[in-house]
Structure 1
Amino acid sequence: MNVKKLAILGSTGSIGHSTLSICESYPDRYEVVSLAAGRNIDAAFAQCQRWRPRFISLASEEAALVLAGRLSEAGITGIEVGHGSAGAVHAATLPEVDFVVSAIVGVAGLEATYAAICAGKTIGLANKECLVAAGELIIAAAKKHGVALLPIDSEHNAVHQAMRGGTPAEVRQVWLTASGGPFRNTPAPEFEHITPQQALKHPTWVMGQRITIDSATMMNKGFEVIEACRLFDLPPARVRVTVHPQSTVHSLVEFVDGSILAQISVTDMRLPILYALSYPERVRSDLTFDLATLSHLDFSQPDLAKFPCLRLAYEAAAVGGEACIALNAADEIAVAAFLDPDPSRAIPFMGIPRTIEEVLAHTSGVRPTSIQQVLEADLAAREVAREVIVRRSSALIR
């Protein structure tokens, strides 16, 4: 059995920790070669102590210098330390790396993921922004270089598993399940008064702040629609969303004969990570599922009037190009403004979709032809979003 040599981009985040847990459980299958660890120097140092990667990259030069000093003081040698986007690209493209786990949050992980694809590495994709902002370029590069893109997000991983039950031509549509977030049953008039504290209380998952707010607005599911369109070569009309509060069924694939295959498993990210790492094999694990939890399952249509972010995502998916880039960029700026502790700068909960809609109205469907153009369009959309927020805040003050 060949040992897969891994590069883990985003090693100090939740996906990174879960991936390293898999490596701990299967030392005969997976070897950690390189890491990209963000700004958490303590966590990066601990990972260097445990895994002794050949290369590690941190977000800034300052953090890299601190880590290098700590490694030297501890007598840990043989680990090269880099920083920034160039460091992440180096981590992802080392010749000995077989498999890259792409889990850096935001467009910061885009360049390294694209470079890894061009270098012929298999990709375990947990970074939404790669496919939302640059999906057309990523998919084209993967086809050109014969690279497999294996989704780690639970919903797309579930679709990937279920699609093994037929050919792509036999798929009628896919169904992505959504918990509905904390406001599934909240009356629409109350949405204007939702506070950050309320929005950050997710009923099912414990996640970072932005993704938790995105779940509350259902923008997270909108991003997943765009991802599914890219990954499985489907138009938006054939990627459906169903609200499933139990979060037991992770996604479903409906075939042309009327058969529907659902993927069901524990809500533990180690399972989709293990699936991606071991594909096309299935590796024995202790991640078992209690069938008793299937005694009650609910499914319902999402309310696009209450959750306009999902509608906006479908509209951006249909246009493509810079519309998808702007959708992601404007959402990140708007969510940050909603969470701003300064009431003079903060926007209301429904200010998030209003900001995104106005930014999209000023955005074309031009398709970037390079990653640099994607990053430039991202920066431009963020600036427009900031201007929209300032203008709306000024109007309210007057």
Structure 2
Amino acid sequence: MKQICILGSTGSIGESTLSILAKYPHRFAVVSLAAGRNVESAAQQCLTWRPRVLSMATEELASELKARLLALGVTGTDVVYGTAGTVLAATLPEVDFVVSAIVGVAGLEATYAAVLAGKPIGLANKEAMVAAGDLLNAAARKHNVPLIPIDSEHNAVHQCMRAGRLNEVKNVWLTASGGPFRTLPLGRFASITVEQALKHPTWVMGQRITIDSATMLNKGLEIIEACRLFDLPPSQIKVTVHPQSTVHSLVEYIDGSILAQISVTDMRLPILYALSYPERVESDLTFDMSMLADLHFEQPDLERFPCLRLAYEAAEVGGAHPIALNAADEIAVEAFLARRIGFQDIAGTIEKVLAETPSFTPASIAEVLEQDDAARRRARHILAR
């Protein structure tokens, strides 16, 4: 029985993970959860799963949850809060596997602490590798901890790379749907609305990641994540637009072979893969082969998607620049969703922040978070101007 900690248990990845655990009660059990700000969902998860520890974002929310659990008659769950609470949830001695699914850098400290504690990680949070990939990789090597990607693209690459050695890889190809504006004339980008940007053609996701898919910044973050996860330079990470989202990614080997991972567009599959790795577990997530009848691949248009260019540039520079890329995007997307800036201003804000970011390589998680905070301040200042 594998004891699971889920960081971000009330989000879409957290809920999908719990649905997988429910299907395999003889294989997996919940030992701890970090639920953020959703007290109602946290209470229901405690009622269903009876975790030993559950962490909320703040002391106030933890108190509210305690009162809710008392009314429900739920006992045996230690309700904690804040970064310290999330770290506690991730590092309990009985935890066998941590699913890191807290959006943004909020879960970075707990993920890093879990690696230091020797816990295998299922990474659904690309920001952790973007901001602190070098530190996480160094800790993972030192403590012999596997970092298994849950993002569908990187999970696909992980599966394909089991067929060969790293020095046999020529290129990694990340597939991108192209989002809702793949064919929209460039002249109409200035009038893109929030509602239009939130209509993703393939996936149902949270607001920030949906906007990031529309700008292709999400794919840019995945380029940086792939560099860190698979120890490859940016020049070996390619992007191909694949609107059907059937092929989740490909690995091209030096002998000319290209291996593709194909499956249903359902996040439960990569979650199950990560939870059960290195085994494969039988599931009902079957693929309809008729979906292969119509497949298209095309080069991304960097004029249409400047965020992709900015991500490649940040990946080449390294250091604080990937941190600034992610932080500036988060602030810019917030402003776009609040209708304070236009769609094209997202890329413009990021480019200005990157131009003001100094060359600096963080040597600790604390320094990563300092650079993240500095980039957010730069972005807010640029938006205020």
- For the superposition of Structure 1 and Structure 2, which TM-score range results when normalised by the shorter chain? over 0.9
- 3-state SS, counterpart of residue 138 of structure 1: helix
Aligned to 1:154: 152
Aligned to 1:339: 337
The farther-off stretch of 185-194 and 220-229 is: 185-194
The equivalent position to 2:289 in structure 1, one of 288, 291, 296, is: 291
- 3-state SS, counterpart of residue 341 of structure 2: coil
Q: Report the alpha carbon displacement of residue 119 of structure 1 after superposing the two structures with TM.
A: 0.3
The 5 Å alignment of 1:204-243 reads 204-243=202-241
The code of the aligned residue for 2:384 comes to: V
The equivalent position to 2:37 in structure 1, one of 14, 36, 39, is: 39
Q: CA RMSD in A?
A: 0.7
The equivalent position to 1:172 in structure 2, one of 164, 167, 170, is: 170
Alpha-carbon separation, structure 1, partners of 2:292 and 2:71: 53
Tell whether 2:349 aligns with 1:355: yes
Aligned to 1:245: 243
Aligned to 1:379: 373
Q: Report the alpha carbon displacement of residue 83 of structure 1 after superposing the two structures with TM.
A: 0.4
Tell whether 2:103 aligns with 1:105: yes
Q: Report the alpha carbon displacement of residue 146 of structure 1 after superposing the two structures with TM.
A: 0.7
Aligned to 1:18: 16
Tell whether 2:111 aligns with 1:92: no
Alpha-carbon separation, structure 2, partners of 1:24 and 1:212: 28
Structure 2's unaligned 5+ residue stretches are none
Q: Report the alpha carbon displacement of residue 76 of structure 1 after superposing the two structures with TM.
A: 1.4
- 3-state SS, counterpart of residue 31 of structure 1: strand
Q: Report the alpha carbon displacement of residue 319 of structure 1 after superposing the two structures with TM.
A: 0.8
Query: What TM-score results when the alignment is normalised by the length of structure 1?
Result: 0.96
The code of the aligned residue for 1:131 comes to: M
- 3-state SS, counterpart of residue 314 of structure 1: helix
The equivalent position to 1:61 in structure 2, one of 59, 62, 73, is: 59
Structure 1's unaligned 5+ residue stretches are 392-398
Alpha-carbon separation, structure 1, partners of 2:273 and 2:205: 21
Q: Report the alpha carbon displacement of residue 365 of structure 1 after superposing the two structures with TM.
A: 2.8
The code of the aligned residue for 2:348 comes to: R
- 3-state SS, counterpart of residue 8 of structure 1: strand
The code of the aligned residue for 1:63 comes to: L
- 3-state SS, counterpart of residue 128 of structure 2: helix
Q: Tell me the alpha carbon deviations over residues 312-352 of structure 1, each in whole angstroms, 9 at most, x when there is no partner.
A: 000000111110110000000011111114xxxx1111100
Alpha-carbon separation, structure 2, partners of 1:192 and 1:365: 32
Runs of at least 4 residues off by over 6 Å: none
- 3-state SS, counterpart of residue 380 of structure 2: helix
- 3-state SS, counterpart of residue 335 of structure 1: helix
Q: Report the alpha carbon displacement of residue 206 of structure 1 after superposing the two structures with TM.
A: 1.0
The code of the aligned residue for 1:180 comes to: G
Q: Report the alpha carbon displacement of residue 99 of structure 1 after superposing the two structures with TM.
A: 0.2
- 3-state SS, counterpart of residue 37 of structure 1: strand
Query: What TM-score results when the alignment is normalised by the length of structure 2?
Result: 0.99
The code of the aligned residue for 2:143 comes to: H
Q: Report the alpha carbon displacement of residue 29 of structure 1 after superposing the two structures with TM.
A: 0.3
Q: Tell me the alpha carbon deviations over residues 160-213 of structure 1, each in whole angstroms, 9 at most, x when there is no partner.
A: 000011111111010000000000001112111111111111111111111000
The equivalent position to 2:47 in structure 1, one of 46, 49, 60, is: 49
Alpha-carbon separation, structure 2, partners of 1:22 and 1:224: 25
Q: Tell me the alpha carbon deviations over residues 93-112 of structure 1, each in whole angstroms, 9 at most, x when there is no partner.
A: 00000100000001101000
Alpha-carbon separation, structure 1, partners of 2:250 and 2:100: 24
- 3-state SS, counterpart of residue 308 of structure 2: helix
Q: Tell me the alpha carbon deviations over residues 73-131 of structure 1, each in whole angstroms, 9 at most, x when there is no partner.
A: 22211110000111100000000001000000011010000000000000000001101
Alpha-carbon separation, structure 2, partners of 1:165 and 1:9: 31
Alpha-carbon separation, structure 2, partners of 1:312 and 1:365: 16
The code of the aligned residue for 2:324 comes to: A
Alpha-carbon separation, structure 2, partners of 1:137 and 1:188: 39
Tell whether 2:253 aligns with 1:255: yes
Alpha-carbon separation, structure 1, partners of 2:149 and 2:373: 26
Alpha-carbon separation, structure 2, partners of 1:27 and 1:339: 40
